[in-house]
Amino acid sequence: MNGIPLTFNEKPRRFVWEYRSAQGEPLGYVARFDADGKKDVVPYFKRMNGHGWQSGSAADPRPLFGLEVLAQSDIARTVFIVEGEKAAAALQSLGLVAITSQGGSKAAAKAEWKPLEGRELVYLLPDNDEPGEGYAEAIAVILSAFEKPPALSVVRLPKLPPAGDVADWITARVNDVFLDWDGFQPVPESGIDTKALLAEFQKVVKAHSEPVPDEWKTKPEPASATDWQAPISLESAKLPPWPDDVFPGSIQDFVTALGTSTETPPELSAMMVLAAMSAATQGKYRVRVKADYFEPVNIWACAALPPGSRKTAVQMAAAAPLSAWEKVHREIVEPAIKKAQADHATITEQISYLRKLAAKAQGAEFEQLKREIADIEADLPEIPTAPQVWAQDVTPENLGTIMADNGERMAVLSDEAGIFDILGGRYSGGIPNLDLFLQGHAGSPVRVNRGSRPPVFMQNPALTMGLSPQPDVLRGLTEKPSFRGRGLLGRFLYALPSSNLGYRTLDARPMLPDYRAQYEGILTAMLNHEMASDDQGDPCPHILKITDDALQVWQTFAHKVEAGMREGGTYAHLTDWAGKLPGAVARIAALFHIARHALVSPWDKEISLDDMAAALRMAEALSAHALAVFDLMGADPALDGARVVLRWIEREGKTEFTFRDCHYAHKTRYKRAADLEPAIDVLIERHFIKARMVKVAHRPSRSLEVNPAILRGAL
């Protein structure tokens, strides 16, 4: 059940039924989600890139539920056809051959009923309502048309409640001795005389069976054009509102004001500011979660928005204190750099002169010159490096050098996605070079010796990433096996906010100067924090502790995430990301703590419950965004296309349209009509549209009707 969520449309998952082939191989699943008397029944028959099941019906003709039971039974055994997997599973648990089709009472014609040809006797057990009768009638029409049709009888079970089915009939008898049976699990054997129950059922079937009416054996009139099933959502999950109360006071004021003044989604400002905080403190702190478990405080943030969303303005504002700090310290060290460069050049010239003399000297004079040259070279002044906090485009090889020159720390901040191309091997013949990036996220030691380049040794590397690429860049990243296989994509904290392009006022008030000044003051203080010292006097990170109550809520969250990674859990298809989520929460809580106490001594205080709770609120939102991003990364092109066409239908207010018109409206996306077909198929199978044939100017053209619920806004 990998990939089937625990909730759908805010309803918890109640049960999952597995469809198998005649040979017993899994074909897909149907999941039921219900709450407050309302339910959603969602099929999962699609697979993408081998990573779990995705929502969508099986290709027509659809397989039957119970096909493996039918295939293993003798042809003379009676077959029961019911409506719904719940009813079929209940009869199967009594040892009967029971089947149903996927899609409900209106989808009987989409199933493959051929396995019933040649069977001796089939009982149709309709639900106690009009759709149930219609379902039984539709099946009778199909089976009667076989060359070797089975004998058909219809059984209307007595004393069923309105819309009741055989599962309700069994429940009424089981509940007399087993009050907790929910009708979904197999009929319990403990406390139940299943043989007596089966005998009673068979007796009732015989007493209430009758041949199907003759009119059921002829093809009925087409169903009404207004007869629709509820559409199945094209979206994986609805993104929750972004929390606006997670950062410490002055930082939150800046984040909110930045989003308001630039008219950008709040997720963008929050993620870019979080990356800037990480860049200011990384390498200087570690969080002690347990006695033997530490987390660094650097994070990787990625907020995806389309071009024109003012990503650059937001990122530059978030990174402004970093750039200002670089400028001040560059000016401080610049005279020393110039002096060292001048001294280095002068001494190098002297060494060159002495080498020329040594080339002509012999004996003792040569040995004296050689010693003199060696002594001068040993005293060559080291040229200081101008401090650098962040970079944009940087190769893995150059990254190691600038990190080594800057206290083993660096941030990569960019509103473009060139870094993904570099990581994918743009400058290395298409061979991905991920090691240093992965080590920089984890803080594991780096030892690089490559050819003519100077060796790079780092004990505690720290790398921050703050990216805001276009959503299209994320799509297809999972097709690079090394990106996901080696855990690169699982290290990012993602945000996929809805674009507000086309809805901005273009007249937003600028940010108050005080908000900007307070933010810059806090980040500057964080940048100025000194490292701690170990027993030998060498620099080392400060260790931040967590209060007991904060640690308790963190552990509760970590257990919840762990359970979500089980088969069928929320995170079952992205364990690479979810496995790092509790650690990311500890890092975020630490950043909040450091910012809150930036003007004093953060290392003297423990991370509080308030900061941990704020980090957990952010994590809940990040979880929803990660689910959406990983759906986008491995998105089915047909599903993406269906979303595009659906937006066109809604925008144009279409009640019906021709395939030709739809292709013309999307010809820039679909060069050939055949390329549009998969998107249309998705919309049909999810009940957004239905097809019929008409003639337009003597040329056949598919006309597609639109589910009225779409235009009523009932989805």
Instruction: With cut-offs at 50, 70 and 90, classify the pLDDT of residue 694.
Output: very low
Pair 395, 529 in one domain: yes
What tens digit of pLDDT does each residue of 105-149 get? 778 888 999 999 999 999 999 999 988 998 999 899 899 989 899
Residues 164 and 284 in one domain: no
Residue 401 parent element (H or E):
helix 396-405
| In a domain? residue 607 | yes
DSSP code string of 582-638: HHHHHHHHHHHHHHHTTTS-GGGSPBPHHHHHHHHHHHHHHHHHHHHHHHHHT--HH
CATH number at residue 628: 3.40.50
Residue 156 maps to which CATH number?
A: 3.40.1360.10
Average pLDDT over residues 247-262: 96
Q: How far apart are CA 76 and CA 97, in angstroms?
A: 11
Q: What is the pLDDT of residues 537-554, one digit of tens each?
A: 899 999 999 999 999 999
Identify the H or E element spanning 179.
none
**324-350 per-residue burial string, b: 16 or more CB within 10 A, e: under 16:** ebbeebeeeeeeeeeebeeeeeeeeee
Please determine, for residue 287, whether its predicted confidence score (pLDDT) is greater than 70. Answer: yes
Residue 695 has pLDDT above 90, yes or no: no
Q: Is residue 256 part of a domain?
A: no
Q: Is residue 46 in some structural domain?
A: no
Mean of pLDDT values over 603-620: 97
CB neighbours (10 Å) of residue 481?
10
Residue 299 has pLDDT above 50, yes or no: yes
Neighbours of 290 (CB within 10 A): 9
Mark whether 109 and 144 lie in a shared domain: yes
Domain holding 609, by residue range, is 272-331+387-633
The answer as to whether 258 is a domain residue is: no
- Please say if the pLDDT value at position 200 is more than 90: yes
In-domain check, residue 683: yes
Do 371 and 395 lie in one domain? The reply is no
Do residues 563 and 601 both lie within one domain?
yes
The model's confidence at residue 692, banded by pLDDT at 50, 70 and 90, is low
pLDDT value at residue 221:
47
The enclosing H or E element of 568 equals none
364 shares a domain with 322: no
Q: Which residues, in sequence order, are CB contacts of 552 under 8 Å at separation 6+?
A: none
Does residue 67 fall inside a structural domain? yes
Nearest to 558 by CA among 578, 588, 587: 578
- 595, pLDDT greater than 80: yes
Q: Are 402 and 452 in contact (CB under 8 A)?
A: no
Residue at 266 is within a domain: no
> Is the pLDDT at 1 greater than 70, yes or no?
no
Do 547 and 627 share a domain, yes or no?
yes
Considering the domain boundaries, does residue 611 fall inside one? yes
Sheet (strand 26-35) strand order? 7-8, 11-20, 26-35, 38-44
Residues 359, 412 within the same domain: no
Q: How confident is the model over 53-85, as pLDDT tens digits?
A: 878 888 878 999 999 999 999 999 999 999 999
The yes-or-no verdict on residue 19 having pLDDT over 70 is yes
User: pLDDT confidence of 384, banded at 50, 70, 90?
Assistant: confident
Confidence of residue 636 (pLDDT cuts 50, 70, 90): low
* Cα Rg of the chain, angstroms: 34
Say if residue 292 is in the same domain as residue 416: yes
Contacts of residue 349, Cβ cutoff 8 Å, sequence gap at least 6? none
Q: Are residues 319 and 341 in the same domain?
A: no
Please report, for the domain that includes residue 655, its CATH number.
1.10.10.580
The pLDDT-based confidence of 222 (bands split at 50, 70, 90) is very low
pLDDT value of position 414: 93
Residue 513 sits in the same domain as residue 535: yes
Structural domains in the chain (count): 4
Inform me whether the pLDDT recorded for 697 exceeds 50: no
Tell the residue number behind the tokens 């309803």, with chain if given: 11
Tell whether 276 and 336 lie within a shared domain.
Answer: no
Which range has the worst mean pLDDT, 88-97, 215-224, 347-356, 574-583? 215-224
Q: Is the pLDDT of residue 650 over 60?
A: yes
